[in-house]
Structure 1
Amino acid sequence: MKISPTALREVFIIEPEVMVDERGTFFESFNERRFAELTGIEARFVQDNHSRSLRNVVRGLHYQIRHTQGKLVRVVSGEVFDVAVDMRRNSPTFGSWTGVVLSADNRRQTWIPPGFAHGFAVLSEAAEVLYKTTDYFAPEHARAVCWNDPSIGIKWPLTGVPLLSEKDRNAPPLDDAEVFE
């Protein structure tokens, strides 16, 4: 397992060691002990989520204001542009974002810690995204921030009109969003 930094120091890219032979491939998608050794983070995952989305779907930017979730995100089919936004008002990187292409081919994963909003845009015809969370979904604490807020300035690599849920279409800009104090 290889850990690479991103523009936001708490967000990591994780690349597994892939063993390849004439039969195909094998890799550990997660190893708790190795993850803790390399990152210093002891994450206990309690929920796995699986989504399938079509090209130009944008999901996010989502977070929970209480029962905050760390997320370990990977793609098992297709390709997405995965994004994290710092939602901690007292952080020096508040409102800053980082993004990385995750795909079934590159097998990369993203660690998104509690206190960050998460979203992704589908770049392939379709994509299946799996993510582990460190706390359960709590709808009463679920929040969203506007996916294309100019004050955040995410450079989404979309090739068409984004497909959004009602929740994401109506998400407030960062200035009006409930954030972590």
Structure 2
Amino acid sequence: MKATGVPAIAGAYLFEPTPHADERGFFCRTFDADVARSVGLDPDAFGQDSVSRSVRGVLRGLHLRAGTGEAKLVRCSHGRIFDVVVDLRKDAPTYGARAFFELSGDTQVTLYIPAGCAHGFQALTDTADVSYRIDRPHDPSEDVTIAFDDPELAIPWPLPVTAMSRRDREAPGLAEALRNHGK
């Protein structure tokens, strides 16, 4: 497994596994504490794992945590997704930058998203399973949602949206969301 920095988002990393394939399929490591440490991440900081399943066209996000934020590792374990990160850390050299990724079950690449960045994704396949490893317990009172179609962000979502949560559908634009949560 190797870690590669994401130039568009300071402190973000892609963790690329080395799959071992044979006639049965494949096996690969999806997390390695030593590799995480090699790029300055504390592997013991991650305290919660979650998974979501989405169907083609479903959009989840853009989500952010208020307060100290939330760092996470995101991996598409089955199917394919269009993944989006927006750097909203005012002190970061990449403040305001956006980065787009295609994550898939075929590659098992994991994306590390630093605290203070908004995140969202759209399922590109009939079924897409996404695994999250989060650095602190979820507190719904700190949830911040930003409109997926905010013109200031101009995210090029690849498919028409087939479904999204009410919270995501009614989310305010970037400026209002940040104003409401003191960012």
Q: Same fold (TM over 0.5)?
A: yes
Matched, 1:31 2:56: no
Q: Shift in Å at residue 49 of structure 1? A: 0.7
Relative to structure 2, which stretch is displaced further, 59-68 or 84-93? 84-93
Distance change (3 Å), C-alpha of 1:162 and 1:22: closer
2:172 alignment counterpart: 172
Change (3 A) 1:101 1:110: same
Partner Cα separation in structure 1 for residue 161 and residue 48 of structure 2: 31
Q: Normalising to structure 1: TM-score of the pair? A: 0.91
Tell me how far apart the structure 1 counterparts of residues 156 and 141 of structure 2 sit (CA, whole Å).
30
Q: Output the CA distance in 2 between the equivalents of 1:152 and 1:10.
A: 20
Q: How does 1:135-146 map to 2 (within 5 A)?
A: 135-146=136-147
Aligned equivalent of 1:70:
71
Range 80-89 or range 171-180, more displaced? 171-180
1:152 shift after superposition: 1.2
Structure 1's unaligned 5+ residue stretches are none
Say whether 1:17 aligns with 2:18.
yes
Specify whether residues 125 and 23 from structure 1 end up closer, same or farther in structure 2 by C-alpha distance, changes over 3 A only: closer
TM, length-normalised to structure 2: 0.90
Q: State percent identity of aligned pairs.
A: 37
Report the CA distance between 1:89 and its aligned residue.
2.9
TM-superposed CA distance for 1:67, in Å, is 4.9
Which ranges of structure 2 fall in alignment gaps of 5 or more residues? Answer: none
Equivalent residues of 1:102, 1:108 under 8 A apart: yes
Runs of 4+ aligned structure 1 residues displaced above 4 Å come to none
Give the conservation status (yes or no) of the 8 Å contact 2:86–2:96: yes
- Please give the alpha-carbon distance, in whole angstroms, between the structure 2 residues aligned to 1:146 and 1:96: 16
Partners in 2 of 1:152 and 1:95 — Cα distance?
A: 9
- C-alpha RMSD of the superposition: 1.7
